[in-house]
Amino acid sequence: MRSPSSTKSWTPTKCARSRDGTRERKNRKVIPRRSRRSRCRRCRMPNIVTLAEAKLFIRVLDDDEDTTIETMIAAATDAVCDVAQAWDGTGEPPARLKLAILSRVAIMFDTRNSLEPGIGEDRLLLPLRTVEL
């Protein structure tokens, strides 16, 4: 192979690129993704946010939407617990966790066809996120 300092432009050959790519792929660590079955059981706890707290947060007075709001609470709790894994489920949940769930419920209630998290919710959840190496 020619050195890059020679007068002609140097580009690696196809063989060199494929060998480097293979070596790089072999040395790379693969981090397995968590499956839904291996998630912690705290995400199934229904009492992180109650129906009354959610209705107060989104300012709903009547009982017509209770089943919809309960479904949104369950979905928001699962989504937030997927990101924030630092709370072990014992004791009182952090205020950040409750507020993230409530803000996700409010977003789902206001825009019922949107599943994108809000910007403020992501900032609340970042300190509660754990990274597995």
Which is higher by pLDDT, 125 or 53? 53
* 25 occurs within a structural domain: no
Question: Quick one: average pLDDT of 35-43?
Answer: 43
pLDDT at 32: 44
User: Residues 69-112: pLDDT tens digits?
Assistant: 998 898 888 878 777 777 777 778 888 889 989 998 998 888 77
For residue 42, pLDDT over 50 is answered with no
Q: What percent of the chain has pLDDT over 70?
A: 53
What's the rounded Cα separation, in Å, for the pair 44 and 81? Answer: 9
For residue 120, pLDDT over 50 is answered with yes
What's the rounded Cα separation, in Å, for the pair 96 and 101? Answer: 9
pLDDT at 36: 39
Give the CATH number, domain containing residue 90: 1.10.3230
Q: Could you give the number of structural domains in the chain? A: 1
What's the rounded Cα separation, in Å, for the pair 112 and 1? Answer: 60
Name the average pLDDT for the chain: 70
Token digits of residue 48: 């992180």
Q: What domain range is 84 assigned to?
A: 41-128
pLDDT at 55: 93
* 96 occurs within a structural domain: yes
